[in-house]
């Protein structure tokens, strides 16, 4: 969606972009389509801080009002700091607003309540395997060991994620969602923003940070362009960069991965890599910039992510012949590779009313016109133009596999708790789309930004998708939401410690 449309949303407190995302770009160009989404967001109704309340100096400046930025602000405030958040878009939320499936965490109280036996070591090993062994191991260890406490922290603020499912590449149910099974993004953003407001932390929107200032090797603040016309220099003792990735910067995508230049992107238009550029100017360095994740299930016409929870709750994928063609719960890169081998890079998610009941986001997909529906498999086959006999055979074979807990065709072992036998039946046409950028700036586990010599840049911290290294060559679904909370909290704590010690 275009910036002017976001401004309109704010002015009328109307309907906004939510959940897994109305894509703003297709094939590297703005789609020009403006979808009306029949779900309201607390972010759209928020009364953000007015410019006349801006101070010349803050303890900590946080650049970006997504999940990582708001988590950092809350922790810094808890430690007695006076933080401020600058957000270049007209509303808070960033790509966090688009998060769908949930937040991964191990050894949580909610897992224990459900009798799910999990361990931090298992979470570590499966994430490392998902990243093909290239993950930053120190960051990954910190990540898994602090995942349960992050769930507890959110719960303490009435952001409760106690509905648990599974995503691809995982062997245990550790993807935490809101109680009703709805998409995690809007719920998380609204909850964090509510707490930020209650703590009276100022949030300035349409506040585009253009430069991080420094003197004698130490960060001193930022230069901000307000409302596209008024630039101010704001001082601080520390800066936390939480600006997200570069999944909407098609020029940078094409530079790093030319073969992806014609793919749609699920990213909101503010995800252009601004934080990475500013940090590089200060001597910061990057890692894994060519590691760009393509999500396998994206509705192509509107670049809208179809969340992994749909497969996690039992859906299968079929090709144009109505047959399965791989393990739907494999890692994202492998599922994407299997779809890319099909004609026109498209496939169909097939599921029943049971899956629809367990994944509330599907109601949103229906409202947007993505879902085909029929009381019979034959009728569904006709709607998506695949051979009815083959689709019926596929469904029968799959239901037998679920019953016997044995997928002889592709060795799928997870998300087989329920068969697909409850009519009506549903289908969504999908294809791959750019979803996440694993690359970004280098930090240590204290979230301090590192220079080319591996030394911290004094007073500069970063967290979230702007950072590289944690996910290696492939991100596991549900780990990005965990990352923004876990490392966002750490950035708030460590920047506060830094300010107190100086």
pLDDT in tens, 140-199: 999 999 999 999 999 999 999 999 999 999 999 999 999 999 999 999 999 999 999 999
User: What pLDDT score does 45 carry?
Assistant: 58
Other CB atoms within 10 Å distance of the CB of residue 371? 20
Within 10 A of 262 (CB to CB), how many other CB atoms are there? 11
- Please report which confidence band the pLDDT of residue 47 belongs to, taking 50, 70 and 90 as the band edges: confident
Average pLDDT for residues 40-68, to the nearest whole number? Answer: 87
Measuring CA to CA, which residue among 399, 299, 422, 403 is closest to residue 349? 299
DSSP state of 260: G
Strand 230-241, strand 218-226: pairing: antiparallel
Residues listed for the chain: 502
Q: Mean pLDDT across the stretch 87-92?
A: 98
Assign 502 a pLDDT band (cuts: 50, 70, 90).
Answer: confident
Q: What is the pLDDT of residues 269-309, one digit of tens each?
A: 999 999 999 999 999 999 999 999 999 999 999 999 999 99
- Model pLDDT, residue 224: 98
Report pLDDT for 233. Answer: 98
Kindly tell me if the per-residue pLDDT of 35 is higher than 80. Answer: no
CA dist., res. 185 & res. 206, Å (int): 21
Q: Does residue 20 register a pLDDT over 70?
A: no
Q: Give me the mean pLDDT over the 220-233 stretch.
A: 97
Percent of the chain beyond pLDDT 70? 91
Residues with catalytic roles: 332
Asked if 486 contacts 147 with a C-beta cutoff of 8 angstroms, the reply is: yes
pLDDT at 394: 98
Averaged pLDDT score across all residues of the chain: 92
**CATH 3.90.700.10 location in the chain:** 294-434
Using the predicted structure, report yes or no on whether residue 56 has a pLDDT greater than 90. yes
pLDDT above 90 covers what percent of the chain? 90
Average pLDDT for 468-483: 97
What number is the average pLDDT over the span 45-60? 93
**Comparing 84 with 27, which gets the higher pLDDT?**
84
Q: What Rg value do the Cα atoms of the chain yield, rounded?
A: 22
**Residue 28: band (very low, low, confident or very high) from pLDDT cuts 50, 70, 90:** very low
Kindly state the average pLDDT of the residues 52-67: 98
Please name the fold of domain 294-434.
Flavocytochrome C3; Chain A, domain 1 (3.90.700)
Q: What 8-state DSSP symbol labels residue 173?
A: -
Q: Where in the chain is the domain with CATH 3.50.50.60?
A: 53-291+438-501
**Architecture field, domain 53-291+438-501:** 3-Layer(bba) Sandwich (3.50)
Per-residue confidence (pLDDT) for residue 25, from 0 to 100 = 37
Are 174 and 118 spatial neighbours (Cβ–Cβ below 8 Å)?
Answer: yes
For residue 34, the model assigns a pLDDT of: 32
Give me the mean pLDDT over the 438-458 stretch.
98
Instruction: Look at residue 258 and tell me whether its pLDDT is greater than 50.
Output: yes
Q: Is residue 424 reached through a cis peptide bond, with omega within 30 degrees of 0 on the bond before it?
A: yes
Helix (H) or strand (E) segment spanning residue 372: strand 371-374
Mean pLDDT is lowest, of 5-19, 75-89, 439-453, for 5-19
Q: What is the dihedral of CA 324, 410, 99, 361, to 10 degrees?
A: 50
∠ CA 232-237-241, rounded to 5°: 70
- List Cα–Cα distances, 118 to 36, 123, 165, 495, in angstroms: 41, 8, 13, 32
Look at residue 483 in the predicted model and tell me its pLDDT.
98
């Amino acid at each position: 969606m275009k910036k002017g449309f976001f401004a309109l949303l704010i002015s009328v407190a109307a309907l906004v972009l939510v959940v897994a995302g109305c894509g703003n770009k297709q094939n590297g160009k703005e789609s020009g389509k403006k979808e009306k989404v029949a779900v309201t967001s607390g972010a759209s109704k928020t009364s953000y801080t007015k410019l006349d309340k801006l101070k010349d100096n803050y303890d900590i400046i946080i650049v970006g009002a997504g999940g990582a930025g708001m988590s950092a602000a809350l922790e810094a405030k808890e430690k007695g700091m006076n933080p401020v958040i600058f957000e270049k878009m007209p509303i808070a939320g960033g790509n966090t607003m688009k998060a769908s499936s949930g937040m991964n965490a191990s050894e949580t109280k909610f897992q224990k309540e459900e009798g799910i036996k999990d361990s931090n070591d298992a979470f570590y090993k499966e994430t490392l395997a998902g990243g093909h062994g290239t993950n930053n191991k120190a960051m990954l260890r910190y990540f898994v060991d602090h995942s349960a406490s992050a769930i507890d922290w959110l719960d303490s603020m009435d952001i409760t994620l106690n509905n648990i499912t599974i995503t691809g590449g995982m062997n245990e149910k550790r993807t935490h969602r809101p109680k009703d099974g709805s998409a995690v993004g809007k719920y998380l953003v609204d909850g964090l923003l509510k707490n930020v407001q209650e703590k009276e932390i100022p949030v300035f929107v349409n506040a585009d940070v253009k430069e991080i200032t420094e003197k004698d090797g130490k960060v001193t603040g930022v230069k901000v362009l307000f409302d596209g016309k008024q630039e101010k220099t704001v001082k601080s003792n520390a800066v936390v960069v939480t600006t997200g990735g570069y999944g909407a910067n098609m020029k940078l995508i094409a530079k790093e991965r030319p073969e992806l230049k014609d793919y749609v992107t699920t990213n909101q238009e503010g995800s252009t890599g601004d934080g990475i550029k500013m940090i590089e100017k200060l001597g910061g360095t990057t890692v894994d910039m060519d590691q760009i994740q393509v999500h396998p299930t994206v509705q192509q016409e509107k670049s809208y992510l179809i969340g992994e929870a749909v497969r996690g709750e039992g859906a299968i994928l079929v090709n144009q012949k109505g047959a399965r063609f791989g393990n739907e719960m494999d890692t994202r890169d492998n599922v994407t590779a299997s779809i890319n081998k099909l004609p026109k890079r498209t496939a169909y998610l097939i599921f029943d009313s049971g899956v629809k009941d367990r994944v509330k986001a599907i109601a949103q997909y229906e409202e947007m016109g993505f879902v085909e529906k029929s009381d019979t498999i034959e009728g569904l086959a006709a709607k998506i133009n695949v051979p009815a006999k083959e689709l019926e055979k596929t469904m029968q074979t799959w239901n037998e596999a679920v019953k016997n807990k044995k997928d002889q065709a592709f060795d799928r072992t997870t998300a087989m708790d329920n068969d697909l036998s409850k009519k009506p039946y549903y289908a969504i046409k999908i294809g791959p789309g750019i979803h996440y950028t694993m690359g970004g700036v280098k930090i240590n586990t204290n979230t301090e930004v590192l220079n080319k010599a591996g030394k911290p840049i004094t007073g500069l911290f970063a967290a979230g998708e702007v950072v590289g290294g944690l996910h290696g060559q492939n991100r596991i679904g549900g780990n990005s939401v965990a990352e923004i909370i876990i490392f966002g909290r750490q950035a708030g704590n460590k920047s506060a410690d830094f300010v107190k010690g100086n």
